[in-house]
Chain A
Amino acid sequence: MSEPVIAIRNLVKRYGRVEALRKVSVDVPPGPVGLLGPNGAGKTTLIKLLLGLLEPTEGEAMIAGCDPSKKADRIEVRKRIGYMPEGDCLLPNTTGVELVTTLGRLTGLTRDDALARTHEVLDYVELDEARYRPVNEFSTGMKQRMKLAQALVHDPEILLLDEPTNGLDPKGRREMLALIDDLGRKQGKNILLCSHLLHDVELTCDHVLVMNKGEVVETGNVAEMTKEDGLSLTVTVDGDAALLRKTLVASGLGVEDRGDKLLVQLGPEAEDADQVFLAAAEAGVALTGVEPVKSSLEQVFLRAVGATAGVATEQTKEELA
Chain B
Amino acid sequence: MKASTHTDVYRPFVGELKSHPRRALVLARAGIRVSFKRKLPALILFSPLAIACIVMCFRVHFMFTLAEQVSGTPNGPEAAMMVTQIQALLGDVVQNIFQFVQQSSWFVLIVMAWYGSGQIAEDQRVGANLLYFSRPLSRLEYLGGKFLTVFWFGFLAMVLPCLLICMVATFASPEWSFLKEEWDAILNSILFGVLWVSTIAIFVLAISSLTSRKTYALVGSAGIVFGTRALSQLLSGLMDDARPSILNLFQNMERVGEVLFDVTLIRGRAISVEASLAVIVLIWVVSLYVVTERIRRMEVVA
Q: Which residues of A contact B (CB under 8 A)?
A: 48, 51-55, 75-76, 78-79, 81, 83, 85, 87-94, 98, 102-103, 105-110, 113, 117, 120, 123-124, 126, 128, 150, 152, 154-155, 182-183, 186-187
Contacts and interface: CB of A to CB of B under 8 A. Distances in A.
A106 B27 contact: yes
B131 A89 contact: yes
A232 to B, nearest CB: 41
A93 B38 contact: yes
Contacts of B8: 123-124, 126
Chief secondary structure at chain B's binding surface: loop
Interface of B: 2, 6-13, 15, 17-19, 21, 23, 26-27, 30, 33-34, 37-38, 122-123, 126-138, 299-302
In this complex, the member of B15, B37, B134 whose beta carbon has the largest number of chain A beta carbons within 10 angstroms is: B134
B161 to A, nearest CB: 27
A152 B13 CA distance: 10
Contact of B300 (A52, A75, A79, A123): A52
Given A53-B299, A91-B126, A150-B131, A108 B12 contact: no
B26 A91 contact: no
A55 B301 contact: yes
A155 B13 contact: yes
Nearest to A147: B131
19 contacts: A53-B133, A53-B301, A55-B302, A79-B17, A83-B130, A89-B130, A91-B123, A93-B38, A98-B34, A102-B26, A105-B21, A107-B136, A108-B19, A108-B136, A109-B13, A117-B13, A120-B7, A152-B10, A154-B17
B245 to A, nearest CB: 40
Given A53-B300, A89-B127, A107-B135, 6 more contacts: A78-B134, A85-B131, A91-B122, A103-B135, A106-B135, A126-B8
Contacts of B128: 89-91
A309 B112 CA distance: 55
B34 A94 contact: yes
B34 A83 contact: no
A290 B34 CA distance: 66
Contact of B15 (A78, A110, A126): A110
Nearest to B7: A123
B17 A107 contact: yes
Nearest to B133: A53
A54 B297 CA distance: 9
Contact of A87 (B11, B13, B17, B127): B127
B125 to A, nearest CB: 9
B136 A183 contact: no
A88 B127 CA distance: 7
Nearest to B23: A106
Contacts of A48: 301
Q: Of A106, A117, A154, A182, which is in contact with the most chain B CB atoms at under 10 Å from its CB?
A: A106
Contact of B134 (A51, A90, A94, A186): A51
Nearest to B38: A93
A83 B134 contact: yes
Query: Which of A76, A90, A91, A155 has the most C-beta atoms of chain B within 10 angstroms of its own C-beta?
Result: A91
Contacts of A105: 21, 23, 26
Contacts of B30: 94, 98, 102
B134 A81 contact: yes
Contacts of B131: 83, 85, 89-90, 103, 150
B13 A106 contact: no
Contacts of B15: 109-110, 113
A258 B148 CA distance: 69
A117 B34 CA distance: 21
Contacts of A103: 131-132, 135
Contacts of B38: 93
Nearest to B25: A105
A128 B105 CA distance: 46
Nearest to B142: A106
Contacts of A87: 127, 130
Nearest to B37: A93
Q: 6 tightest CB-CB pairs across the interface, nearest first? A: A108-B17, A155-B13, A89-B127, A83-B134, A102-B30, A75-B136
Given A91-B126, A113-B15, A124 B133 contact: no
A87 B129 CA distance: 11
Contact of B6 (A53, A113, A123): A123
B24 to A, nearest CB: 10
B73 to A, nearest CB: 57
B300 to A, nearest CB: 6
Contacts of B17: 79, 107-109, 154
A258 B10 CA distance: 46
Contact of A113 (B13, B126, B299, B302): B13
Nearest to A151: B134
A16 to B, nearest CB: 11
Contact of A155 (B12, B123, B126): B12
A98 B133 CA distance: 18
B10 A183 contact: yes
Contacts of A75: 136, 138
Nearest to A160: B134
A182 B133 CA distance: 27
Contacts of B19: 108
